[in-house]
Structure formats: structure tokens, C-alpha cells
């Protein structure tokens, strides 16, 4: 079992784009979701995984990830996953000794861009990049599982 401590932010500027070290397209869908627990299938290039997250509080979650065959993931996304699917490009940016994941959403969530950083402890101090905007860690609308239920385009 893993515990994920994640903080999520909107972005104030596009200046982060100058520091992107890598990017990848992710397609994911939820086979089950409730207020606190989500079961997700994700395809990342030629890799696929099943992920279970259970929210303990706003930034602490239990997280379990398992690789699955790519063909199984495609079939689950096609026949089982709830709609709409999440389609996003994840950009990686290093700042202040931490890896920031910036998700740029497409499709029904186009126009939404959020930055996430995983921390080792809930109260870990970190350097805020100048491009970082409002924190939305405690706003469940920004959880990917909720974006697949009520997309950004319908807010």
C-alpha cells in the first residue's frame, strides 16, 4: 500500500512551458467511482495500469497501482469505463528540487490546466514557482474522477 500526499494548483501563467523536461499523452477511464474511492484504468503509450485511490482527506490518499496488459486496458476503456474518458497531456517540470506534473486536459475538459506536486509529508515546505496560482487541493471538482463525471466544459 502506498500513501500519496499531493497538492494541486491552478496556474497563473504559461511560463512553466519553458521548463518542461518531458511530456506524455494519457487516456484514462473510471470503472468505479464514489465520493472517496475511484478505480481507474490508464493507458500511457504502450503501458497500462489499474489504479485504486481512496481519499483519507483532501491531500492524503491511499493509492494502489498494478500493471495490466495493454489489450485488457483498451477493452476496459472501450466497454466498461464510465464516460467521458479523461484525455490529457502530462508535462514534467523540475522546480525547487521537486517534480511537478502539469496536466493539460483535452476533450470535455479542454481549457483546464493544473499542476500537482507529491510531497513526503503533509506539512513539507516547498518553493512555490512563480507560475503557480490558486491551490485547489481541497476542491473535489478537480479530482480526475470527478472531471470524468462533471467535465470542466460544463462548469
**Cβ neighbours, 10 Å, residue 85:** 17
Rounded (to 5) percent helix, strand, coil in the chain? 20, 50, 30
Domain that holds residue 136: 2-154
Nearest-angstrom CA–CA distance, 13 and 53: 30
Query: Which tens digit of pLDDT belongs to each residue from 41-72?
Result: 999 999 999 999 998 876 788 999 999 999 99
Whole-angstrom Cα distance, residue 79 to residue 94? 37
From 112, 113, 8, 114, select the one nearest 55 (Cα to Cα): 8
Q: How many domains does the chain have?
A: 1
Q: What is the predicted pLDDT for the residue at 105?
A: 98
- CATH no. for residue 122? 2.40.320.10
Q: What is the pLDDT of residues 18-32, one digit of tens each?
A: 999 999 999 999 999
**Which residues are catalytic, by number?**
30
pTM score of the predicted model: 0.91
Amino acid at each position: 500500500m502506498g500513501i500519496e500526499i499531493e497538492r494541486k494548483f491552478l496556474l497563473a501563467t504559461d511560463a512553466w512551458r519553458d521548463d518542461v523536461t518531458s511530456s506524455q499523452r494519457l487516456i484514462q477511464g473510471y470503472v468505479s467511482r464514489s465520493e472517496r474511492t475511484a478505480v481507474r484504468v490508464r493507458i500511457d503509450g504502450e503501458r497500462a495500469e489499474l489504479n485504486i485511490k481512496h481519499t483519507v482527506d483532501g491531500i492524503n490518499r491511499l493509492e494502489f497501482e498494478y500493471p495490466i496488459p495493454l489489450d485488457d486496458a483498451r477493452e476496459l476503456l472501450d466497454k466498461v469505463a464510465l464516460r467521458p474518458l479523461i484525455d490529457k497531456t502530462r508535462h514534467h517540470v523540475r522546480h525547487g528540487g521537486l517534480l511537478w506534473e502539469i496536466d493539460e486536459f483535452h476533450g470535455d475538459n479542454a481549457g483546464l490546466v493544473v499542476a500537482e506536486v507529491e510531497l513526503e509529508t503533509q506539512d513539507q515546505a516547498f518553493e512555490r514557482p512563480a507560475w503557480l496560482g490558486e491551490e485547489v487541493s481541497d476542491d473535489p471538482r478537480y479530482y480526475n474522477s470527478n472531471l470524468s463525471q462533471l467535465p470542466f466544459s460544463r462548469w
